[in-house]
Structure 1
């Protein structure tokens, strides 16, 4: 297997996951900035690896498999860190919706691929908008998460919380779009079984 630049960027994103966790828990004042910086760096590599793969024809089967795995792992870990530090019912709900949808859509894509119908559940534009809102929200939340639940959240944190709620709603919307695209195949398969 030849490692392309996009695949190396994806691997870097996976390596940054334990770095994110480590800096998030360091007992220094700058750790929120460092955690947000690591997350933003990982988000930029996500955009960059896709751009390089398309622009320089460096796509690979391994990269196509690894890229969404790296994205989902980074987002899930960031959500878990935020919920652990700010354990409110709403924050837990947004995290559950986002992580649950990612698992469901991944399973749907894998199943559709087994049926040779993967093209029916390709990434839609609403999914790209959701990703942008989600990444910005998570970066804001990582930077501004209060040290203690008793601390009043800052205005930027509240904005990040609302953006995460919007991302969760967009997540549901895009998940329904994937399900709607796959529905004829799902019904056909259920009828033949």
Structure 2
């Protein structure tokens, strides 16, 4: 099958599609609008699904390529960072927390690059995986942002959900996991260097 061979295999094409979603999310978040926020959520949700799918297919078809190893984490970081940065002027996330998340990502990426140049592989930790899950859920909820009634539009308080509050709840959990997993990477790097 054509999509199972070469650098432009299906997993890598899915990763590239995720990268193509980044400017779309940015454009949709240039204005504070319920409709545009909904479509930003749809695009972000689609991109998040491709994150899982490309990894699954790459493992299933044994299509782990150098291009895929480079593009996959880059696409993830660009997508998450773009959504978080664009939500700062909309008042949906605090700038200081987004700064900490970006600083952690830059620091850990640099740390892993140094480790790789020394022949040291630092595998993803379980905290890092949970961090990603909570981040994705938080961003989806923060993109939806507005109040929703989840029972066929009936405005009963029992079914009323303020998505912004839901998003912030998951966002702060993901922030703790972000810092915790960053510290774990640093500790493991130090342990590997001092062996």
Please give the range of the TM-score, normalised by the shorter of the 2 chains. Answer: 0.7 to 0.9
- 2:49 corresponds to 1:48: no
CA distance in structure 1 between the partners assigned to 2:87 and 2:127 by the alignment: 24
Q: Which residue of 1 aligns with 2:27?
A: 22
Structure 2: tracts of 5 or more residues without a match? 1-5, 148-160
Structure richer in helix, relative to its length: 1
For 1:140, the equivalent position in structure 2 comes to: 141
Unpaired runs of at least 5, structure 1: 147-153, 189-193
Does structure 1 conserve the Cα–Cα contact (< 8 Å) formed by 2:22 and 2:79?
yes
Equivalent in the alignment of 1:178: 185
* Counterpart for residue 31 of structure 1: 36
Query: Is the partner of 1:57 in helix, strand or coil?
Result: coil
Tell me whether 1:160 sits opposite 2:163 in the alignment. Answer: no
Please say if residues 86 and 145 of structure 1, whose CA atoms lie closer than 8 Å, have aligned partners that are also in contact.
no
2: distance between equivalents of 1:19 and 1:81? 12
> TM-score normalised to the size of structure 2?
0.84
Name the CA shift for 1:28/1:137 in 2 (closer, same or farther; >3 Å). Answer: closer
Residue 155 (structure 2) aligns with: none
Number of equivalenced pairs: 177
In the TM superposition, structure 1's runs of 4+ consecutive aligned residues that sit over 6 Å from their partners are none
The CA deviation at 1:129 is 0.8
Is 1:128 paired with 2:129?
Answer: yes
Q: Evaluate the alpha carbon distance shift between residue 157 and residue 10 of structure 1 in structure 2; reply closer, same or farther with a 3 A threshold.
A: same
Distance in 1 (CA, whole Å) between partners of 2:135 and 2:33 is 26
Instruction: Output the TM-score relative to the length of structure 1.
Output: 0.85
State the Cα distance separating 1:27 from its structure 2 match.
7.3
